[in-house]
Amino acid sequence: MATGRTHRPATRSRGIPEATVARLPLYLRALTALSERSVPTVSSEELAAAAGVNSAKLRKDFSYLGSYGTRGVGYDVEYLVYQISRELGLTQDWPVVIVGIGNLGAALANYGGFASRGFRVAALIDADPAMAGKPVAGIPVQHTDDLERIIQDNGVSIGVIATPAGAAQQVCDRLVAAGVTSILNFAPTVLNVPDGVDVRKVDLSIELQILAFHEQRKAGEEAAAADTAVAPAARRQPADKGPDGDVPAVMPA
């Protein structure tokens, strides 16, 4: 899960639970797909299946937003898309800068999912002078020297760090000093930021490591488990019921 450190004064007492916020984008994606197919209404059961959660959770999540459904009928797709978009702040345009245009930075610059959701890549920044001026995803790369000016000229408040780990903290400090208050960090390092700045991280190798943990467990299902304390590991046959269930938090990783 990603992480949002800076849990300062608190998670806004009268706000939406963090776990719910993390699922809103999921619902929005599913709703957008329904909208494109011109589906007018959807039940909590159907939408939950499309989003990969269970319906009770979905209804509870929506209850934090308000009463947007109709008993006996379901939810109006278009209306919900609008309400969730507004709640997430996606009805406005968010200029974003990406710092570190290596393989990953280029992938992010080309990522269509940004533009389609209210995000606009305002600038690409890299420390390599040789990159300067070269267009990536149609946007010319600018040099790190101009970072502060770029942030201010574009009114950027969200920055994406895709640099090597060693450069991340320094880039982070400069972004924050220039006015950025939200950072998405892909560098495998912990960033220190002042209060009021949100950081979420995505670490590709961490996700794989978590998978490896469960994979290992499956392998040792009936074979001698790791070592001590053998897991009762019964057959792989969860008495689980429903279609799905689960989805921890996460946040992201």
Partner DNA sequence: TGGTGTGAAAGGATTCACAGCC
Partner DNA sequence: GGCTGTGAATCCTTTCACACCA
Across-strand partners of 75?
42, 69
Residues 187-206 that bind DNA (CB under 7 A): none
62 contacts which partner out of DNA, its own copies, none, CB within 5 to 8 A by kind? DNA
CA distances for 250 relative to 21, 57, 243, angstroms: 11, 15, 21
**101 marked as part of a ligand binding site:** yes
| 21 burial level (CB within 10 Å; 0-12, 13-18, 19+) | middle
Task: Return the number of the residue (221 or 246) whose C-beta is nearest DNA.
Answer: 246
In the shown chain, the binding pattern of residues 58 to 77 toward DNA, with x for contact by CB under 7 A and - for none, equals -xx-xx---xxxxxxxxx--
| 3-state SS class at 94 | strand
* Residues 175 and 147: beta-carbon distance below 8 Å: yes
Task: Indicate the residue among 20 and 142 with the shorter CB distance to DNA.
Answer: 20
Residues 94, 119: contact at Cβ < 8 Å? yes
Establish if 2 lies at the interface with DNA (CB under 7 A).
Answer: no
* Residue 82: how many other CB atoms lie within 10 Å: 15
**Residue 34 DSSP class:** H
Q: Give the x-and-dash track for 16-55 against DNA (CB under 7 A).
A: -xxxx----------------------xxx--------xx
CA distance 154 to 168: 21
Interaction partner, residue 181 (its own copies, DNA, none; CB < 5-8 Å by kind): its own copies
Partner whose binding site includes residue 95, from DNA, its own copies, none (CB under 5 to 8 Å by kind): none
Which residue, 60 or 120, has its beta carbon nearer to DNA? 60
Nearer to DNA, 135 or 245 (CB): 245
Q: Is 105 annotated as a binding residue?
A: yes
Residue 210 interacts with DNA (CB under 7 A)? no
Burial of 38 (0-12, 13-18, 19+ CB in 10 A): exposed
Closest CA to 20 of 50, 52, 49, 63: 63
Residues that bind DNA (CB under 7 A): 7, 10-12, 17-20, 43-45, 54-57, 59-60, 62-63, 67-75, 245-249
Binding residues for NAD(+): 100-105
